[in-house]
Amino acid sequence: MHAIAYPRLRCGKHQLDLTHAHIMGILNVTPDSFSDGGRYSLLERALLRAHEMVDAGASIIDIGGESTRPGAERVSAQQELDRVAPLIELLTAERDVIVSVDTSTPVVIRESARLGAGLINDVRALQRDGALDAVAATRLPVCLMHMRGEPQTMQDAPHYHDIAAEVSAFLQERIAACAQVGITAERILLDPGFGFAKNTQHNYELFKRLPELLTLQRPLLVGVSRKSMVGNILQQPVGQRLSGSLALAVMALERGAKILRVHDVAETMDVLKIFNAVQDAGKE
């Protein structure tokens, strides 16, 4: 396995041991996310789902208040904050778990940190005005994801000459932008952005070449759970993509991923346990 430069990630009051892989449970509190839109928009349901995922083994719960599925409409900062803030506050009070917030919005970044979030997960890689300074001020770690354009337009004929090289170059540029405002390398995770401004062929070539991104010396977060890259191969709707998602989870771990962002926490934990058993076989 590829050694990483900084084996521990400080996430607020928590420390994430990156010498082994972790599960991040997806919790969208939006009415229009691609997989579970509206299912957890009520606070009580969302909190119950968070508890279920923690009990199933998730190290991180990733709360999102703005859908970033292809074609999604942008929401106001206040709408996003109203959706995520009550859940962050309750979950951090009730469970000893890292709460990640899936946001690009500076005011949401700052308020989430104040309420106890331990990680910022930004699909726009801190390119929204004020986002770099907001994360720098929180002193929290951040996950930078590759995407071109915005969710409304990102699937309009995406094109790459060398997808792994271009994704790597983009992420390197965003790491450099972070450094300029004092966000140091040990605070950064990287997400290749499967399904974001990429067609099925792009997604699978990039997935195959994931080890090339390890040269950036930052932990990789991989999110492919239930995505169209699975559905397009299996010809299955969202609710029947578990087996394909688990197959990719195994291959992501083999290619060096340290965090798997998933909907199906219990099933992916089984995969991770078996993977770890193989990795640890024969050790004293």
Task: Give me the active site residues, please.
Answer: 227, 261
> Which of 226, 227, 197, 223 lies closest to 210 in space, CA to CA?
223
Q: What angle do CA 222, 224, 226 make, to 5 degrees?
A: 155
Which residue(s) pair with 9 in the sheet? 16
Pairing of strands 22-28, 60-64: parallel
The Cα–Cα gap between 43 and 29 comes to: 8
**DSSP conformation letters of 91-118:** HHHH--SEEEEE---HHHHHHHHHHT--
Amino acid found at 73: E
Give the number of other Cβ atoms within 10 Å of residue 233's Cβ: 15
Tracing tokens 């346990």 back to the chain, one arrives at: 273
Helix axes 265-280, 242-254, angle to 10 degrees: 30
Question: Look-up: residue for tokens 């469970």?
Answer: 95
Burial of 95 (0-12, 13-18, 19+ CB in 10 A): middle
